[in-house]
Structure 1
Amino acid sequence: MNVPPEPGPDGLRRVPVLVVGGGGAGLTSSLALSDLGVESLLVERHPSTSVQPKAHILNARTMEIFAHHQVAADIRREGSPPENCRAMAWLSSLGGDEPYDRKVLYRTSAYGGGELAERYAKASAQPHANLGQRWLEPLLRRHAEERAPGGLLFHHELLTLDEDGTGVTATVLDRTGGRTFRVRASYVIAADGGKTIGRLRDIPMEGTPTFLEWINLHVRADFSPFIPYDDAVVNRVSSLSDDGTLEHCGVVPMGPRRWGRHSEEWTLMFSRPPGGKEAAELDDETIVKMVRRTLKLPDAHPMDVLSISRWPVEGTLARTFRSGRVFLVGDAAHRHPPSGALGLNTGVQDAHNLAWKLALVLRGNADESLLDSYEPERRPVARRVVERALFSLFNQIAFTSGTGVVPGARPEWNRAQMTALFSDTPDGETRRAVLREYFDTNRITTAHLGLEMGYDYADAGFVTPDHTPRPRTDPLGLLCPQTARPGSRLPHAWLRHRGERVSTHQLHGTPGSFLLFAGAHGGVWREAAKSVAQRHGVRIDAYAVGAPGEPYDVDGEWYRLRGHDEDGVVLVRPDGFVTMRQLTYCAYPEDVLNDALETALGRRAHAASRKGHD
């Protein structure tokens, strides 16, 4: 059990990093900092982790991060088996007896499963996972508390935040005991969903304000008689109501012991458009009736409602991701619809990008200007995610045009269109073919590998360019061309090392370390790495791929992706992104490597800044 922090002689509890918020991004920040040897204190105003299932898809990039911090295996153990999260299905209803009820509108592979598996496996050794936040967050909390005993304080609320030239002083309220205490920190990570720190620091959210209200029901029910597939990670019901309008509701299996169509618990999701009755005005009983009507559940079919949540849907981005010594991550920095399962994943990746930088700065191994890289690296990624999530949300209902159902048309007309859609006639066959064309555009929501991990940080100014052209990106974000160009995520390829098959990412085993992959003639680079690492007080795990006793490439994939010859080298940052690539022989490897490391540690940026002020 955690105890309130003990004050020092000056009445302050001193800690290098204060993390505000105990959701996915905050908990990831805590455990990552612990793995990096940095003490932190996390405060969360709620008494526990989320009681709502919330987000559940964990994409491959996020699972790479969790594998790096030794939690991926537990997530897979507690989450959905792969065979139960491979597809997305659109259904016309769960019940009902109209000619168009209980039909499959469309089905497609999703989130790296099914037909997408081969494409995703080429990009990462980590398949996606599926575990709702109601179960994920306690798992992350357990790991974080094991690594930082007493370092996580739930039911504690940040009240004030004051900054001076050397740190930040926070006032924290113990909501159980009612007393307050003060915390002195060098830096603050705002993972509070924008509840407090954005307001205290006067950081506005920019973009599309609330335009929908989302309602989630967490229910316990047996939907197996109504769900046709056991591998659908999401079922989307679009049913024709009595007044002739299409009503939409997500039906998402949440396990937690059985999965797929036999899940014991589910999330039911639907939205309220502007101009209608606000979600807050709808009592729970009315909401349950609305959902049952949309799903066309038989009146006698039991459904135990565990909780109902209402939340505004927006598409916004914090004007700045940094305010002095305060850094915004997760929903505090970006908010958008759940379309594409990008929110939690982006927050985890924010935390991972920031943690190693804070650790090296706090230890004195990096210049403080390295922290200036957080916003220019992560904000463009978040902007793209917000834009895509907004577009995907509306694209998911664009298929309505393919059904022939017209908003505002007479109910008789719309019922006739849906009946014709499923008729066993040439016209019905044509209508279904057209509908598939509409649905096929939804792959931007379910198969966006390029969006998940194809971003790069080359333009932020903290990697050493090699002046090679940036690979063309897929505008739909479906494909992820792997490259070892500086600024890009380290490409995944399989190597053989010490008799085992290992991914390039698995050789990056120690949190906080740099990774060097040289060619077969890379002995000089390994020696240079030892010298430079000692000079800067960092760790560099160095390999000469293809040299005797070193990892070697069996199928040639790494040789194809690395982009350098046997005299060249790739240097990778602690977060798994390439910071330097030397394409061929160089006469002064130690100097080149030293310059690259100084850039990665922010020292070149600091020198440039000082020169600009001289």
Structure 2
Amino acid sequence: MNFSSRSRPSHAPTEDPNILKVPVLIVGGGGAGLTASVFLSDLGIGSLLVERHATTSIQPKAHILNARTMEIFGHHGLAEDIYAEGSPPENCGAMAWLTSLGGDEPYDRKVLHRADAYGGGALADQYAKASAYRHANLGQRWLEPLIRRHADERNPGGVRFGHELVRFEDDGDGVTATVLDRTTDRTYRVRAQYLIAADGGRTIGERLGIGMVGTATFLEWINLHIRADFSEFIPFDDTVVNRVSSLADDGSLEHCGVVPMGPKRWGRHSEEWTLMFSRTPGSRKAAELDDETVVKMVRRTLKLPQDHEWEVQSISRWPVEGTVAEHFRVGRVFLVGDAAHRHPPSGALGLNTGVQDSHNLAWKLARVLCGDAAPTLLDSYEAERRPVAERVVERALFSLFNQIAFTAGTGVVPGARPEWNRAQMTALFSETPDGRARRAVLAEYFETNRITTAHLGLEMGYDYADAGFVGSDGTQMPEPDPLGLEYIQAARPGSRLPHAWLRRGGERTATHDLIAHGAFLLLAGAQGEHWVSAATELSGVYGPAITAHAIGPRHQLSDPDGEWAALRGHDEDGAVLVRPDGFVAMRLRSASADPTGELRRALDIALGRAVHATPAAGGERHS
């Protein structure tokens, strides 16, 4: 068993040798919990993860991993494995809306709309300018075992499935927990300095009295995981999601998502699929629908031939809400992932936000446990991440309702006579001036779905400037795109370090790949040796290590294409200081008479050691 750590030892209330002592206890073995384990191990911090289920998720669940998440996974050595197991890029760059997969009506098996999505097609250049990493597509059923392998390798014995948190107590100096080993029916106690609640909100938040604020359950979602051959029914091979909106016999539009899940072949040749549909308020509740009824409903919506075989692997039912925890931290307990925010899957924001929660929290715990940051740094977790969660939940809700709304462009009217609605769908696909006009109008409706499939600004543009833990350089934040489509890279304090390609010798390297685990990064201009010298002087002495580079023709790192110079916002005598999570802590726009003192002040703010951290001017947090 390996629970070693460079952090200070826990202070248990007793010296009971039967209590297992560990710096961090993680409760929950889903995406947010498993990544927290990997991140802490890479930072040299021991942890124990307990998960009540015997295995990782048996459901495909979330599957789209955005560029920011893949950037984080690349930093921690997971990205290559995820790309290797996931969908090739040529099979996950678009979204399509179809009228059905089968059927013989004039409006059946038609394409309502098709759009590039998640960095695919015409979006590729825009996304490539923002990150060295592309989106990935791998369902949680396959992703979680992959991350678990990495977590086990880095922390042998520290990842325990089939172990359930029974109770816990935060006494102010640490957390004492009782854990049940469900394989032996025996309990044991754990003493941790901090607890990460990655339990999906099942127990810990409620026990702490943390309320969930927002829109309570308003839909029920039903997911079917099936094995089937849909290759003859799906018209595209590059769609990451196919949405079917079919006209039922009663004249209503019924909706179902058809999502290829691989895992060996992809696109329309996938062997496994997720079929997703929802139950609205007032309809028969999902829990009241037995599995046979669910399968019949989906077959009816898709209009598949009755003799077309599929094998149901599992069926899950879950409530859809749009809520954010009132607090992300109570004492020594921190909420991440679904324990902190819950919302519809629209826009693929849930798992990504949870991973980014854990990433934000892990380096801060590591620095506090190692003694080179003040405990007040941990206050920044909620200050930085809760506004991001609020924005994500708002957008996911709006995106869901927008996806429902734009099908009104078909001309189908809820509650109208079936004959009317059938006539509308027939007219939509007629080769007449009226039909072409209808399709042109419908395309305008569907274009609004860019807020769900092309929201690079939402994925990458969140900012921590006004949380109080980065310095100010007196500049104003660029006005964010309200739709979240455009992402303006800037090296302003509180923003994500801009992506740019640099040269080291004969090879190119991305700015984010220069960040070492747990270390700050200083990037100076060609005349910024004084900043490099100051960083070298302070590295490991006045806080954590600082990796420092001057960038220019005379240095190891060069910027031959001027990409970095166009983004950095300082002159050749200036520099930027970057936190271990890849966010800018301070921009030093020119030379200083006291570079060591300037860097000390920047580190004090970034590590929570300043008495009053000053938000950057004009700061606004958004996601």
Alignment of 1:485-496 (within 5 A): 485-496=492-503
- Over 3 Å counting, the alpha-carbon distance change for 1:523 and 1:581 in structure 2 is same
- Over 3 Å counting, the alpha-carbon distance change for 1:213 and 1:117 in structure 2 is same
Aligned to 1:544: 550
The residue matched to 1:206 in structure 2 has which SS? Answer: strand
Identify which of 595, 599, 602 aligns with 2:601: 595
The residue matched to 1:603 in structure 2 has which SS? Answer: coil
The residue matched to 1:108 in structure 2 has which SS? Answer: strand
Aligned-pair CA distance for 1:532: 1.4
Aligned-pair CA distance for 1:398: 1.3
1:77 matched to 2:62: no
Mapped partners of 2:613, 2:65: distance in 1 = 39
Aligned to 2:529: 523
Aligned to 1:612: none
C-alpha contact (below 8 Å) 1:33/1:359 kept by paired residues? yes
Alignment of 1:552-567 (within 5 A): 552-567=558-573
Mapped partners of 1:574, 1:505: distance in 2 = 10
Aligned-pair CA distance for 1:318: 0.2
Mapped partners of 1:534, 1:126: distance in 2 = 30
Aligned-pair CA distance for 1:607: 9.1
1:239 matched to 2:282: no
Q: Which amino acid aligns with 2:395?
A: R
Alignment of 1:286-325 (within 5 A): 286-325=293-332
Percent identical among aligned pairs is 73
C-alpha contact (below 8 Å) 1:8/1:14 kept by paired residues? no
Aligned-pair CA distance for 1:535: 2.3
Mapped partners of 2:171, 2:297: distance in 1 = 53
Identify which of 337, 340, 350 aligns with 1:333: 340
1:64 matched to 2:71: yes
The residue matched to 1:70 in structure 2 has which SS? Answer: coil
Q: Which amino acid aligns with 1:246?
A: L
C-alpha contact (below 8 Å) 1:399/1:439 kept by paired residues? yes
Aligned-pair CA distance for 1:165: 2.4
Identify which of 102, 118, 131 aligns with 1:95: 102
C-alpha contact (below 8 Å) 1:462/1:605 kept by paired residues? no
Identify which of 407, 415, 419 aligns with 1:408: 415
Identify which of 155, 164, 174 aligns with 1:167: 174
Aligned-pair CA distance for 1:523: 1.1
Identify which of 154, 179, 189 aligns with 1:147: 154
1:115 matched to 2:122: yes
**Deviation sequence 1:137-158 (CA, Å, 0-9, x none):** 0000000000000001101111
Aligned to 2:256: 249
Mapped partners of 2:15, 2:362: distance in 1 = 26
Aligned-pair CA distance for 1:16: 0.2
C-alpha contact (below 8 Å) 2:569/2:589 kept by paired residues? yes
Mapped partners of 2:534, 2:326: distance in 1 = 42
**Deviation sequence 1:300-322 (CA, Å, 0-9, x none):** 00010000000000000000000
Aligned-pair CA distance for 1:99: 0.1
1:505 matched to 2:515: no
The residue matched to 1:604 in structure 2 has which SS? Answer: coil
1:482 matched to 2:474: no
Q: Which amino acid aligns with 1:563?
A: G
The residue matched to 2:57 in structure 1 has which SS? Answer: coil
Aligned to 2:539: 533
C-alpha contact (below 8 Å) 1:369/1:606 kept by paired residues? no
Aligned to 1:583: 589
Aligned-pair CA distance for 1:511: 1.1
1:198 matched to 2:208: no
Aligned-pair CA distance for 1:549: 3.0
Mapped partners of 1:534, 1:154: distance in 2 = 37
Aligned residues: 604
Aligned-pair CA distance for 1:82: 0.4
C-alpha contact (below 8 Å) 2:250/2:418 kept by paired residues? yes
- Over 3 Å counting, the alpha-carbon distance change for 1:358 and 1:474 in structure 2 is same
The residue matched to 1:535 in structure 2 has which SS? Answer: coil
C-alpha contact (below 8 Å) 1:25/1:344 kept by paired residues? yes
Mapped partners of 2:472, 2:612: distance in 1 = 18
Aligned-pair CA distance for 1:536: 1.9
Identify which of 196, 219, 224 aligns with 2:226: 219
Aligned to 2:11: none
Aligned-pair CA distance for 1:2: 11
Mapped partners of 1:109, 1:554: distance in 2 = 32
Alignment of 1:372-383 (within 5 A): 372-383=379-390
1:441 matched to 2:448: yes
C-alpha contact (below 8 Å) 1:466/1:486 kept by paired residues? yes
Q: CA RMSD in A?
A: 1.4
The residue matched to 2:539 in structure 1 has which SS? Answer: helix
C-alpha contact (below 8 Å) 1:214/1:313 kept by paired residues? yes
Extract unaligned runs of 5+ from structure 1. Answer: 609-614
Aligned-pair CA distance for 1:530: 1.2
Identify which of 427, 430, 433 aligns with 1:426: 433
Mapped partners of 2:539, 2:325: distance in 1 = 36
Mapped partners of 1:143, 1:498: distance in 2 = 31
Mapped partners of 2:239, 2:283: distance in 1 = 31
The residue matched to 1:559 in structure 2 has which SS? Answer: helix
C-alpha contact (below 8 Å) 2:471/2:613 kept by paired residues? no
C-alpha contact (below 8 Å) 1:29/1:352 kept by paired residues? yes
The residue matched to 1:554 in structure 2 has which SS? Answer: coil
The residue matched to 2:610 in structure 1 has which SS? Answer: helix
Aligned to 1:571: 577
Mapped partners of 1:240, 1:377: distance in 2 = 45
**Deviation sequence 1:563-595 (CA, Å, 0-9, x none):** 000000000000000000011121110000111
C-alpha contact (below 8 Å) 1:210/1:312 kept by paired residues? yes
Mapped partners of 1:468, 1:550: distance in 2 = 30
Aligned to 1:611: none
Identify which of 289, 292, 315 aligns with 1:282: 289
C-alpha contact (below 8 Å) 2:373/2:543 kept by paired residues? no
Q: Which amino acid aligns with 2:520?
A: F
Identify which of 491, 504, 520 aligns with 1:514: 520
Aligned-pair CA distance for 1:91: 0.3
Mapped partners of 1:547, 1:9: distance in 2 = 60
**Deviation sequence 1:299-352 (CA, Å, 0-9, x none):** 000010000000000000000000100000000000000000000000000000
C-alpha contact (below 8 Å) 1:2/1:153 kept by paired residues? no
